[in-house]
Amino acid sequence: MKTRLILLSITCLAALAFSQPPDTLWTRHLEGTYHPHLNAVAALSDGGALAVGNCCLNLHHTFFTSAYFARMDMLGTITWQYDLWGYWSEIGAASYDVKVLPDGGYIVGCASNWGPPCLQPTALRMQANGDTAWSAVMEPGYPWDTEDTLMAVCVGNHQAFGAVAHFLNTSQVMQVDSMGRILWQHSMPQALLVSISASPDSGFVVAGRPDFFIAKLGYTGDTLWTRSFQIGPYSECAKILTAQSGDMLMVGGSGEAIYHGTAAMVSAQGELLWSRHYDFSPAIVSVDRCAEGGYIMLSDRLVRINESGDTLWTQTLPCDTCEYKSVVQTADSGFVVAGNNSPYYSGGYLVKFAREGLTADSHFILHPSSFNLTAFPNPFNPGTALRFTMPNAARATVTVYDITGRMVRTLLDEMASSGEHRLVFDGASLPSGLYFARLDCGRRSATQKLLLLK
């Protein structure tokens, strides 16, 4: 424990000394035929991004909305985009969240129409090219209720997905398997749930409001514990994110006359580890984990924090009139922010930032978190995404061994550039059991346990 604290302190001090706000690489204003409103963005392994939201259709002087998807390359050029009018058997009303899967596909949280204006929360599985694989509709829906919305999705273990939704004045949580079958669905009326994250023990954590409400769910959906933290007056949680340790970062806002950005770290057992009120307004609406350690948060600006919640840097956003919704770190360690041009939502807006800058002397310091190897999901079946970060360009080898020490597969053996790298380990042809992934680079090495469960 003492060693962990020392390493964490070194990481925080080094980051405080050398992290610098990133430069803007490009901006995109999405207008034209689709006239989209963006709600979420996800990073792709090739450096691109997928943005989701909704767009409008004017039919006989009446506006209807449809789910919208746009796939961009690393330069911000749209490679494909479409809505779901006439494409899906259920007319897509809007998309609110998206996560990328190890095979390059996506899981999307939607509110779907089965006869306007009746909405049903729907988890949509898409292929990498945008084709629909399946949709799982949460039941029951309430006729003529326009508030039924699937707010958030996450990628769990065992190729399962978790989702939270609103039904009238209550919230629902469900788990869906890899074929789109609903494994379980539970009601949680004590809070308005807005976010869900997978936990390392194959369960889920859900969060919402009032206050910073959090609940821990087991793999079968049983509620293991609930907590509610009042982090200042009128506090409300907007997002939750689980670390590999099982600790959970909750972000949102609190305040009376002025609503300030607020964050809190909760242990895997539900204990409040720390909370922070930041001197900016409005609330924090999105957060993502950074490969270099710490987190990137989105309010009316970008805010980079370390594991203790201390601010490393802030970066203003180029559009003063935009309402920002989502931030994600990209494969090249940069950042993409998605939002909309306010106040009339005249189109979606995207901005790409470079990776955070470092001072001239920063290459002499090797952060403890800058050379590591992680896997998610873990346990997995049959595939998991391995991620590692290189502080400098060098030859890297990633090899998988079984529990007897026999080499199973070499995933990488070549020069690797500095920054983040992702690999996919497919265990479809292997038996269930414990495996070890090992990253070697010169005199340094890192090992990650892998549990394959079939």
Residue 15 pLDDT exceeds 60: no
Instruction: Using alpha carbons, list the distances in angstroms from residue 216 to 93, 292, 377.
Output: 30, 27, 18
Residue 92 pLDDT exceeds 70: no
DSSP state letters, 68-112: EEEEE-TTS-EEEEEE-TTTSSSEEEEEEEEEE-TTS-EEEEEEE
Is 360 buried (19+), middle (13-18) or exposed (0-12) by CB count in 10 A?
exposed
pLDDT, position 366: 36
User: Which of the residue ranges 230-234, 340-344, 384-388, 425-429 would you say has the lowest mean pLDDT?
Assistant: 340-344
Domains of the chain from N-terminus onward: 19-357 (2.130.10.10), 362-452 (2.60.40.3080)
* 412 or 8, greater pLDDT: 412
Share of the chain above pLDDT 90, in %: 38
H or E stretch covering 2: helix 2-18
Are 225 and 216 contacting, i.e. CB atoms less than 8 angstroms apart? Answer: yes
Q: What is d(CA 265, CA 257) in angstroms, rounded to the nearest whole number?
A: 25
Q: Where are the alpha helices (DSSP H) in 149-284?
A: none
pLDDT, position 104: 85
Residue 44 pLDDT exceeds 70: yes
pLDDT, position 361: 36
Q: What is d(CA 353, CA 329) in angstroms, rounded to the nearest whole number?
A: 9
CB atoms within 10 A of CB 446: 16
Residue 87 pLDDT exceeds 50: no
pLDDT, position 303: 96
Model pLDDT for residues 128-142, shown as the tens digit of each residue: 888 889 988 887 645
Q: What is d(CA 309, CA 249) in angstroms, rounded to the nearest whole number?
A: 9
* 199 or 3, greater pLDDT: 199
Q: What is d(CA 333, CA 239) in angstroms, rounded to the nearest whole number?
A: 21
Q: What is d(CA 436, CA 442) in angstroms, rounded to the nearest whole number?
A: 19
pLDDT, position 347: 84
Mean pLDDT, range 242-257, rounded to an integer: 88
Instruction: Using alpha carbons, list the distances in angstroms from residue 58 to 35, 348, 372.
Output: 11, 18, 51
Are 49 and 329 contacting, i.e. CB atoms less than 8 angstroms apart? Answer: no
Query: Count of residues for the chain?
Result: 454
Q: What is d(CA 451, CA 400) in angstroms, rounded to the nearest whole number?
A: 12
Residue 63 pLDDT exceeds 70: no
Reduced to 3 states (helix: H, G, I; strand: E, B; else coil), residue 14 is: helix
